[in-house]
Structure 1
Amino acid sequence: MSEIEKFLKELRLDIKRDTEESLLNLETSITSKINDKIDQNFNFLQRELEQIKETNSKHDKRISAIEKHIRQRNVIFFGVQEGEKSYQELDGTVLQTIKDELKLECDRKELETVRRMGKYLKSKVRPIVVTFTTYGRKIKILKNKKYIQTKNIYIKEDFPPQILETRKELQEQLKKEKEAGKIAFLRYDKLIVREPSMKDSRETEEEKTIKTETEKTKKNRELEITPPHQLIDSNKNTAQQQAIKKNKTQTYKMGKNQSSMKNFFTKQNVISTKKPEEGETPYSSNDSDE
C-alpha cells in the first residue's frame, strides 16, 4: 500500500511538472506570437505615421510657397489714419500717402487690392494691406520708405505668420551679430551673417574691375559687329575718304609738277636776263643752230 501511494505521489508530481512546463511553453509561445503581432502592427503604424508626416511636410511646403507667392507683391502700411467710407476713398488715401510720404507718383491701376486688417476698433488704427500689380512697384515703394517723415507711419513687407515668428526669434541673434561688428541681415526666414574684412573690399574692387573690363569688351564687340544700316554709312564714309585721299594725292602731284615747271621757267628767266660776257651772245628761243 505504501508503494502504491508512493507511486501515485510521484505520478502526481510528474503530472504537475509536465503541466507547469506545458503551460509555461504555451504561455511563452502565445506571448511571443502576440509580441510579434504587436511589433508588426507597430511597424506598420510607424510607417504609416512617417508617410503622413512626409505628406504633411510636403503640403506645408506647398502651402508656404503658395502663401509666399500670394504675399509677394504686398506691402503693409502702418499708422495711416482711418476715416474712409468706401473702397474708392481707401484707394485715394493710399495713393495720397505714397505721394506725400514716399515722394512717388502712383496710378490707381497699379493697385490690385487695398484692405484694412482686422476688425474696426475706435482705439486702434488698423494697418492697410496693399497688393500692387507688379513686383517692381513694390520694390520701389520699399526703397523709398527712407523718405517717410511722419513718425506714426511706416511700411513693412507682408510675411506669413510662421515666417514672422521665425524672424522674431532671429531678431535677438541679429542684434548680437551686429553689435559684434559683423555684417548681418534677415533674408526672408534666414539670418545671413558674414565677417567684414579687407578681402571683401578687395573682392569688391576686383568685381568692379571685372565689370568695367566686361563693359569695355562688350562695347568693343558692339563696335566690331556693326549693324547693317551703319555698314552703308560706313561704306559711304570709306568711299568719301578714299576720294578725298585720291584728290589730295593728285593735288600734291600737280603741285609738284607745277613747282618743277615754275623752277624751270624761273631758271630760264634768270639765264635770259643775265648780262652776256664778251664773246657770248644772249640765248634766244628764236635763234637757230648753225
Structure 2
Amino acid sequence: MENITKILQTIQKDLQQQKTDMKNMQETITTSINENINLQFQKLDKRFENLEKKVEEQEKYIDIIDNKLRKKNLIFFGLEEKEKSYQELEDAILDVTNNLLTTSCKRWEIESVTRIGKKGHNPRPVIVTFSTLGKKIQVLKSKKYLKELNCGYYIKEDFPPKLVQKRKELQEIVNIERKKGINAVLRFDRIIYPKQKENKDRSNSNNKRNQSQSPEYIAVGSKNEDEILNKTPKHPPKKNKHDIRSFVNRNNNNNKE
C-alpha cells in the first residue's frame, strides 16, 4: 500500500512538473512570437514612414510641375460658346485681347485654347496658354478694362485646386482685415500687408537729413553771415585750383606792360 502511495505521489509530482514545464514553454513561445511580431511591425512602420516621405516628395514634385504647366495660363470667363472650330475659339480670344483689353496679341503668341468643364446652359470657361510668360502678364495687367466696360467677361489666373482652396480661405481673412481698415492684399498663397503711403511719406521725411547750408550760398549782408562763417570750418584751397581774381589781375598787368 505504501508503494502504491509513493507511486501515486511520484506520478502526481511528474504531472505537476509537466504542467509547470508546459506553462513555461507556453510563456516562452508567446514571448518569442510577440517579439517577432513587434520586430515585423517595426519593419513595417519604417517602410510605411519611408513610403510616406516618398509620397510627400512626389506630391511636391507634381505640384511644382503643375504650377509650371499653369504658369503661362489664363482663364477667360463669360465668353459666348458659339464657336464651331478650334480656330473660331482662338479668333474669339484674339478679339477680346486686341479690342477689349487693348493689348496687342498675335496668333503665334497663343499656344492653345481649351474649354473646360461640362457643357451646359452657361458658357464654359476657356483656358488660354500663351507662348511666353511676358505676354500672359501683359494680358493679365489689362483685365481692369473689362471691369470698366462691364461686358460680362473677366479673367483669372489658372491655379491648382489645392491653391484655389487655400486662396478662398485666405480671401476670407483679407476681407475681415479690410473691414477693420487694415490694408491687406492676397498674393498667390500669402497675405501681404503693404504700408500706407502716408506712413511711408512721413517716415521718409523724418529719415531725410536737413541739407546743411554751405557758406558759398549765404546771402551777403545777412544777419547770420558772421555767425555761420565763424562756425564753418575753412578748408585750405587745393593746389590745382587757381583764384579767378589773381588770374584776372595777372592778365591785366601783363597787358599794361
CA pair 198-9 structure 1, distance change in 2 beyond 3 A: farther
Q: Is 1:146 the equivalent of 2:144?
A: yes
Counterpart for residue 79 of structure 1: 78
Which moved further from structure 2: 170-179 or 57-66? 170-179
Equivalenced residue count is 215
Q: What is the match of residue 245 of structure 1?
A: none
Structure 2 equivalent of residue 23 of structure 1: 22
CA contact (8 A) 1:101 1:147 kept: yes
- Find the aligned partners of 2:93 and 2:33 in 1 and give their Cα distance: 70
Alignment map for 1:278-289 (pairs within 5 Å): none
Other structure's SS at 1:100 match: helix
Q: Offset at 1:195?
A: 8.3
Deviations 1:127-159, CA, capped at 9 Å, x for gaps: 111111111121122221111123521110001
CA contact (8 A) 1:117 1:128 kept: yes
SS class of match (1:125): coil
2:56 match: 57
The letter for the 2-side match of 1:143 is K
Structure-1 residue corresponding to 2:124 = 126
1:11-48, Cα deviation, whole Å (9 max, x unpaired): 23322221121111111111111111111111111111
TM-score normalised by L of structure 1? 0.65
State whether structure 2 residue 31 is matched by structure 1 residue 10. no
Distance 1:204 1:135, change over 3 A: farther
1:222-233 matches, cutoff 5 A: none
**Which consecutive residues of structure 2, in runs of 5 or more, have no partner in the other structure?**
209-247
| Aligned partners of 1:112 and 1:132 also within 8 Å | yes
Q: How far 1:79 sits from its partner (Å)?
A: 0.3
Aligned to 1:181: 181
Aligned ranges 1:100-249 → 2 under 5 Å? 100-121=99-120, 123-148=121-146, 149-190=149-190, 192-194=191-193, 201=200, 205=204
Q: 2:156 is paired with a residue of what secondary structure?
A: strand
Q: Name whichever structure is richer in helix by fraction.
A: 1
Query: In structure 2, do the counterparts of structure 1 residues 21 and 72 end up closer, same or farther at CA, with 3 Å as the change threshold?
Result: same
Letter in 2 for 1:8: I
What is the identity percentage for the equivalent residue pairs of Structure 1 and Structure 2?
34
Q: Secondary structure at the match of 1:166?
A: helix
**What does residue range 38-49 of structure 1 map to in structure 2 within 5 Å?**
38-49=37-48
What is the aligned-residue RMSD (CA, Å)?
Answer: 3.1
CA drift at 1:5: 4.1
Amino acid at match of 2:114: R
The aligned amino acid for 2:115 is R
Moved over 4 A (4+): 193-200, 252-255
- Aligned residue for 2:66? 67
Distance of 1:185 and 1:55 partners within structure 2? 35
CA contact under 8 A between 2:183 and 2:196: conserved in structure 1?
A: no
Structure 1 residues without counterparts, runs of 5 or longer: 210-248, 261-290
Amino acid at match of 2:138: K
Contact 1:116/1:128, CA 8 A, preserved across alignment: yes
Q: Given the two structures, how large is their TM-score scaled by the length of structure 2?
A: 0.72
> Aligned to 2:79, what secondary structure does the other structure show?
coil
Shift of 1:170: 2.9
Aligned to 2:220: none
- State the match for 2:95 in structure 1: 96
Alpha-carbon spacing, 1:202–1:118, altered in 2? closer, same or farther (3 Å): same
Q: Using a 3 Å threshold, how does the CA distance of structure 1 residues 193 and 104 change in structure 2: closer, same or farther?
A: closer
SS at match of 1:118: coil
Distance in 2 (CA, whole Å) between partners of 1:151 and 1:116 is: 20
